[in-house]
Amino acid sequence: GENVEQHPSTLSVQEGDSAVIKCTYSDSASNYFPWYKQELGKGPQLIIDIRSNVGEKKDQRIAVTLNKTAKHFSLHITETQPEDSAVYFCAASTYSGGGADGLTFGKGTHLIIQP
């Protein structure tokens, strides 16, 4: 099955600086890569995603890049703000139809924004 590795487990940055979280996946058939943000006491929430036919996607201060050859993808947050403090999860899916479904998640990165 798919295996997703995520690094680092904890990341502390100064407010206003950039943060980068990296993930690698094992199954070359994976074709969908979402990122989820989890605030304390809540469930994860989708913040951005990318498909295997795209190399980069941006949404305001958040961007995701995908390198299919190396089988890794990264989340970039620019101009970090206190409200960016949370746990971030990457995930991968090898959905191929036929009723099978589900995501394989990384173990999470605790992002701390220092004032």
Question: Which residues of the chain form contacts with another protein (CB under 8 A)?
Answer: 1, 4, 6, 9, 31-32, 34, 36, 41-46, 49, 89, 93, 95, 99-108
CB of 42 to another protein, least distance (A): 5
Nearest Cα neighbor of 113 from 89, 79, 90 is: 79
Both tokens of residue 34?
């979402």
CB of 31 to another protein, least distance (A): 7
Nearest Cα neighbor of 25 from 108, 110, 105, 109 is: 105
Q: Which is nearer to another protein, 4 or 113 (CB)?
A: 4
Spatial neighbors of 79 by CB under 8 A, at least 6 apart, are: 16, 18, 61
CB of 67 to another protein, least distance (A): 20
Q: Which is nearer to another protein, 82 or 102 (CB)?
A: 102
CB of 32 to another protein, least distance (A): 5
Q: Which is nearer to another protein, 51 or 61 (CB)?
A: 51
Spatial neighbors of 36 by CB under 8 A, at least 6 apart, are: 44, 45, 46, 47, 88, 89, 91, 105
